[in-house]
Copies of this chain bind each other. A is one copy, B any other.
């Protein structure tokens, strides 16, 4: 009873070598497929390995090759389909090139992100993909970069960090979609985002996220172009859980001069905003127009289907992984990396505001 007494200790090259009656070095060569090995020996070793069902210890291997074939991914929240999709793009691509992915969630907390990066570095990952929680507080990323470890940022740029970044430029699309709202007659337009800040939004304040800065910049540009300004009071940050989003939405719609259009910064926010609107007994787009970032399938199922700003999230994940792997393998960056841009998909959630109608 025990053809393979493989209890506890694992099979190592030494075991295989013994079984094949060759030196450890030869066995290692045959198995690792390097150096010179006679057919004869190779055969014996491979057979022995098969027989013992030998499996190399990747840890040991990594230790002296210095390569772990693993990349670390740090995102704010995988539960958010935006990151889910991006992660999918990353893992698909990584797998194709023989890399594994260690995933760490940060809940968009800077402290968690700093720790996550540290942990991954300690595990000697070959490179990192980070969707930074903050575009301003980037010491830890700076550190990674300086230590020479390949690093690619996803979704958001980091202030003063010259690192390859895969992100959609938000200014133009934000400008375009704001114009779309303005042309429909909206003047009271709100923007709701989860971005955490110490104080309420004030024009010109420095934000932690370049994404959000850019979006606001685009909105402002559209407004100022027609001689108006985006009201500070209509920019609501710190929209955390469903409850706070609900309150924010109610606030925006119940104020003396209610907003006539709301722009949701991501899919999660959108859900709560739309729900709050429905709760108030208001109709989209008759009472309020609605626009959101991220094109999820369900946005086509609501009535009316929602007008969205679609970002090539999966493709960006792919691009981030490709770029990182390229860096890891020391290849030169391609001349013109793909440029990603978002596009406005007009469905049914934007219409003329009540006030503008005859």
Chain A interface residues toward B at CB < 8 A: 6-8, 55-60, 62-63, 68, 70, 77-79, 81, 84-85, 87-88, 91-92, 95, 100-105, 118-119, 121-124, 147-148, 271, 274-275, 278, 296-298, 300-303
Contact = CB atoms under 8 A, between A and B. Distances in A.
A84 B84 CA distance: 7
A59 B271 contact: no
Contacts of A124: 57-59
B123 A100 contact: yes
Nearest to A88: B79
A82 to B, nearest CB: 11
The complex is assembled from copies of this chain, and their number is: 2
Contact of A103 (B8, B103, B118, B302): B103
Given A301-B298, A301-B302, A55 B88 contact: no
A84 B95 contact: no
A55 B302 contact: no
Nearest to A4: B146
A254 B58 CA distance: 55
Contact of A91 (B84, B92, B104, B119): B104
23 contacts: A57-B124, A58-B122, A58-B124, A59-B68, A70-B123, A78-B84, A78-B87, A81-B81, A84-B84, A87-B103, A88-B105, A91-B105, A92-B105, A100-B102, A100-B123, A102-B102, A296-B298, A298-B301, A298-B302, A301-B301, A301-B302, A302-B302, A302-B303
A178 to B, nearest CB: 24
Nearest to A121: B55
Given A7-B148, A59-B62, A301 B271 contact: yes
Contacts of A77: 88
A147 B78 contact: no
Given A271-B297, A271-B298, A278-B301, 9 more contacts: A7-B148, A78-B88, A79-B81, A79-B87, A84-B84, A100-B119, A101-B103, A275-B301, A302-B303
B104 A100 contact: yes
